Amino acid sequence: MTHDNITMPAAVRQELDLLLATIKRATTTDEAERGGIRAEGFVLGVERLKALQPASIEALYLVVEQSVELRVGELAAQA
């Protein structure tokens, strides 16, 4: 899943892109998971501000979760 098709303010997209990039360049499982926690916290903030529709928020949570799972899987395969 990607967040490219989710309509959101530019500032939200920019910050989310930075958070997802942090997850993608994690060098350890712990780094990837910490990045995921931080990204989920950001999405929670967006949710609390009601900046996006509930379906979009749910999609963002899934994007973050899948990004972490993908990176953790990549790191495990390298070990």
pLDDT digits (tens, 9 = 90+) for 7-42: 999 999 999 999 999 999 999 999 999 999 999 999
Total of domains in the chain = 1
pLDDT score of 63 more than 80:
yes
* 5 domain-assigned: no
* 9 domain-assigned: no
Measure Cα distances from 10 to 14, 17, 20, 51 in Å: 6, 10, 15, 12
* 74 domain-assigned: yes
* 8 domain-assigned: no
Give this prediction's pTM: 0.94
* 19 domain-assigned: yes
Q: How would you class 24 by CB atoms within 10 Å of its CB: exposed for 0-12, middle for 13-18, buried for 19 or more?
A: middle
Domain that holds residue 65: 14-23+30-78
* 55 domain-assigned: yes
**Cβ(57)–Cβ(45) under 8 Å?**
no
* 59 domain-assigned: yes
